[in-house]
Amino acid sequence: MRVRGLLVLVGAFAPLPAQAEVIAASDSGFVSHHEAEVAAAPDEAWAAMLRPAGWWSPAHSYSGDAVNFSIEAAAGGCFCEAIPDGGGSVEHMRVVYVDPRVRTLRLSGALGPLQAEALGGALTMTVEPAGTGARIVWDYVIGGYARGSIAALAAPVDTVVGEQLARLAASLGGPRSSGGERGF
């Protein structure tokens, strides 16, 4: 991994407006919850969610370009990033469950700098009808052992994951007001 990629992943946890909620955090793990409502139809939101090249932030990549991201939406499939200038690649997470009928995708793995620790994670991503549009819900659960405080990682990881969902919502025409419910 290039030094630039490491610096981007470790140091780029810039604060964003409150967009989600860390539901729980302790020395053994944390849970992050994010929601966004969009005007797009649920099937359109589902299809877009499976194409991270269209919404992932290049600031949180090893290659510096979101076009290098892909999700193979099948059990055992890879949420991967190609590193074209050196012929490398990164497995960010592994698909463990996908059901297009209920628009649910579950990925297993630890994102970014969490990969360097003995941490596991489960990111469950769902798209459901909401009025004339869709609600996208992401729950990311992290647990295991780290050389530092896992609880201290909750807020920065929550921010980065929230940024990705905000970018997905923006790619679908932007978030819409959800009448006071949690969301973007």
CATH (domain of 122): 3.30.530.20
pLDDT at 11 over 60: no
Does residue 156 belong to any structural domain of this protein?
Answer: yes
Average pLDDT over every residue of 65-74: 98
pLDDT at 153 over 50: yes
pLDDT: which is higher, 164 or 112: 164
Strands 78-83 and 69-71: antiparallel
Using one digit for the tens of pLDDT, what is the confidence trace for 126-145?
999 999 999 999 999 999 99
Average pLDDT, rounded, for the chain: 87
Q: By C-alpha distance, which of 126, 121, 151, 120 is closest to 24?
A: 151
pLDDT at 155 over 80: yes
Amino acid 85: pLDDT = 87
Give the range of the structural domain holding residue 155, as residue numbers without chain letter.
18-51+95-171
Domains of the chain: total:
1
Average pLDDT over every residue of 23-37: 95
Q: With pLDDT > 90 as the criterion, what percentage of the chain qualifies?
A: 79
Does residue 2 belong to any structural domain of this protein?
Answer: no
Does residue 82 belong to any structural domain of this protein?
Answer: no
Does residue 26 belong to any structural domain of this protein?
Answer: yes
Does residue 146 belong to any structural domain of this protein?
Answer: yes
78 touches 91 (CB < 8 A): yes
pLDDT at 78 over 90: yes
pLDDT at 51 over 50: yes
Look at 59-68, 87-96, 97-106, 174-183 and tell me which has the smallest mean pLDDT: 174-183
Cα separations in angstroms, 90 against 62, 93, 125, 131, 166: 8, 9, 20, 38, 23
Average pLDDT over every residue of 45-60: 97
Does residue 106 belong to any structural domain of this protein?
Answer: yes
Amino acid 177: pLDDT = 55
164 touches 79 (CB < 8 A): no
Does residue 135 belong to any structural domain of this protein?
Answer: yes
Amino acid 117: pLDDT = 96
Q: With pLDDT > 70 as the criterion, what percentage of the chain qualifies?
A: 85
Amino acid 1: pLDDT = 40
pLDDT at 79 over 90: yes
Does residue 39 belong to any structural domain of this protein?
Answer: yes
Average pLDDT over every residue of 165-178: 85
Q: Would you list the DSSP string of 64-114?
A: S-GGGEEE--STT-EEEEEETTTTEEEEEEEEEEEETTTTEEEEES--GGG
The span from the CA of 42 to the CA of 25, in Å, is: 31
